[in-house]
Structure 1
């Protein structure tokens, strides 16, 4: 809950749900922490589903991104439909030094997105992580670009370690989401729902509840 503190009282134009998916160890948690803070040290594997909240201004709009990380679930293939429900954007991550993480995106993750995603216009971005290990690279940039094109995804290579292109990844995704009217509308609806909930909470707690009458 600590990651959301301070966000409650700040106004924003849209609220978007973003998912990070891909094999264990590709650097999903590192990407998330690199984006949220300036440090990627001391990362232990996440158990279950973790999420972080980040406020971002893109294209002149204030966005609240709730970014969900599947870490700990992926090896069981148990990332269920509730995780995908209502996602506005999906970040598919592979490790450029491990080919199986790249092929699994096609064989497993892309199929799961297709199966469970409820927003059919949701924006997807394919991300090749760990480009700082260029000497160990086994998946070249052209292969990544070709796969992204085939699945109608955006594409970017980045490094959570050096922070190269990490901010760019979330910026590009957010801008693209804002271009889709149906996603924009749903993101706006989430803000309205949040505002109504806040009024209800504050209304029933002030002055012994007299405001709620």
Structure 2
């Protein structure tokens, strides 16, 4: 019997205010490129990626990532995609205090609708804007790293900062969240057969990369 191409399929969601770079983070992960001028997400978009988690025995996971719209008009649609999610990226823009302040509301939504054991990582995106570079004028940082770290600690979240433009910290964010999910799987907190956000691979599965495509646009 053929061995599985991956060991687990994990459902992830990416959420946060509009224009914080959620779509750009997903494209950086799946296509290794920067989405300079993305169109606003209408409803939900999807992408997938195979990643290998380090450890004594390398574990291959397939991340199925749902990039959700950050506007209130799509909130009822995006909430339906939270259901059963095992992992979540809560994204804000380090140059926008408002986007950081909104994280608390997004987190409440995730905890109300995703799996009870969902692993969340708080991601401060657009760190490249603070330092400038590539012809950009530096912007003032609105959210100190220490403030975000403290919030993450208080809420039991993982935390990192990233740049979808440069790729800094992007894969690390997904890897750290996936590692925490698998830790919970091994502790028995997720049920392989009943948790929709965690699926054990079946032998003979063929790895495919699903292109990012619009879903539920209205």
Q: Give TM-score, length-normalised by structure 2.
A: 0.77
Say if 1:100 and 1:18 are closer, same or farther in 2 by CA, change over 3 A: same
* Bigger-Rg structure (1/2): 1
CA RMSD of superposed structures (Å): 2.5
Tell me if structure 2 keeps the 8 A contact 1:17–1:66: yes
Sort the Cα spacing of 1:187 and 1:11 in 2 relative to 1 into closer, same or farther, 3 A: farther
* Aligned match of 1:66: 64
1:123 match: 119
Q: Looking at secondary structure, tell me which structure has more helix per residue.
A: 1
Question: Structure 1 residue aligned with 2:190, among 173, 183, 197?
Answer: 183
Q: Which residues in structure 2 correspond to 1:43-62 (within 5 Å)?
A: 43-59=38-54, 60-62=58-60
Provide the C-alpha distance between the structure 1 equivalents of 2:71 and 2:142, rounded to a whole number of angstroms: 22
Question: How far apart are the structure 2 equivalents of 1:125 and 1:188?
Answer: 16
Measure, in 1, the Cα distance between the counterparts of 2:97 and 2:59: 38
- Decide whether aligned partners of structure 1 residues 155 and 189 sit closer, same or farther in structure 2, where only a CA change above 3 A counts: closer
- Quote how far apart the aligned CAs of 1:39 are: 1.3
Specify every segment of 5 or more residues in structure 2 that has no aligned partner in the other structure, as ranges: 131-138, 207-218
The runs of 5 or more residues in structure 1 that have no matched partner are 1-9, 199-213
Q: Which among 161, 166, 170 is matched to residue 162 of structure 1? A: 166
For 1:85, the equivalent position in structure 2 comes to 83
State the number of aligned residues.
Answer: 186
Higher relative contact order at CA 8 Å, sep ≥6: structure 1 or structure 2? 2
Distance 2:177 2:170 in 1: 11
